[in-house]
Amino acid sequence: MARKIVITSGKGGVGKTTVCCNLAVQLARQGYRVIVCDLDFGLNNADVVLGVENRALYDILDAVEGRCRPKQALVSHPRYPTLHVLSSNRVLERYVSPQAIRLILDSLAPQFDYILIDSPAGIEDGFHRAASCAEEALLVTTPHISALRDADRVAGILKSYKFSAVGLVVNQIRRERRRSGMLTPDEISTALRVPLVGIVTEEDKIFRENVVTRSRAFRALAESCVNLSHAAKRRLK
Ligand SMILES: Nc1ncnc2c1ncn2[C@@H]1O[C@H](COP(=O)(O)OP(=O)(O)O)[C@@H](O)[C@H]1O
Ligand SMILES: [Mg+2]
């Protein structure tokens, strides 16, 4: 039965989709059966980041409205056969209820190991729809003050969801951080009261290629996620 993990942040542009897609690739490389479910209806781009944007015949709205079976809406990745994308290209700003999405994901869950849910920025309906479809959460932030403030608000809201596990990913760490006086990932984890499960430095290669197969950081993140329920499992207090 798939573990459903929402990747969320508060602030836009901090790397939710990047983390979601790279994590998915690392899990698929280990043989796990993975779905990336794009619930960022406004700015959906998980299919582009994973390079499958021209392969979708159907999307999640087609599955919700019964034009195809849920499995037909999955696009399999040409390079990683166990990796699938459930895109939302045609949803636009249409209202889709959280219950409808949950039904689709529940019907797919028995045949997969992970469903990674990419959520929109903000704390409005789209965020709640994504969060309510998951049982675990990854909170992504950068060390920048504006991202941290939004992450703090989201961490507070995540409490009310009673997730079985919540982990923090600090992204876009600058190598020259010492001089910039920014908080360390451990300090951020302490401030947000969310256990740290991943640290990703700012890399031109990530910016250029979106998905970096041989990334030690994303491999380590995948390892932490596999063990999330053991090592970092801790309800937000
Ligand atoms: N660690 C990183 N190093 C370099 N560029 C990054 C990194 N993480 C994300 N980016 C870039 O930042 C931009 C925003 O990332 P994205 O994952 O789309 O954010 P979000 O989904 O939170 O809006 C993208 O252009 C992405 O390539
Ligand atoms: Mg995104």
In short, whether 48's Cβ falls inside 6 Å of ligand 1 is no
Q: Which domain holds residue 7?
A: 3-226
The answer as to whether 152 is a domain residue is yes
For the segment 51-104, what is each residue's pLDDT rounded down to a tens digit?
A: 999 999 999 999 999 999 999 999 999 999 999 999 998 776 678 999 999 999
18 Cα: distance to centroid of ligand 1 (angstroms): 5
Whether 144 has a pLDDT exceeding 80, the answer reads yes
Whether 234 has a pLDDT exceeding 50, the answer reads no
The answer as to whether 235 is a domain residue is no
129 Cα: distance to centroid of ligand 1 (angstroms): 22
For the segment 152-184, what is each residue's pLDDT rounded down to a tens digit?
A: 999 999 999 999 999 999 999 987 756 567 899
Task: Supply the pTM of this predicted model.
Answer: 0.95
The answer as to whether 20 is a domain residue is yes
Q: What is the mean pLDDT of the chain?
A: 93
Q: Which ligand is nearest to the CA of 172?
A: 1
The answer as to whether 237 is a domain residue is no
- Looking up residue 189, the CATH number of its domain turns out to be 3.40.50.300
The answer as to whether 234 is a domain residue is no
Q: DSSP assignment of 23-68, as one string?
A: HHHHHHHTT--EEEEE--TTT--HHHHTT-TT--S--HHHHHTTSS
* Mean of pLDDT values over 182-210: 96
Q: How many Cβ atoms are within 10 Å of 204's Cβ, its own excluded? A: 7
The number of distinct structural domains making up the chain is 1
Q: How far apart are CA 41 and CA 44, in angstroms?
A: 5
The answer as to whether 236 is a domain residue is no
The answer as to whether 231 is a domain residue is no
For the segment 40-50, what is each residue's pLDDT rounded down to a tens digit?
A: 998 999 999 99
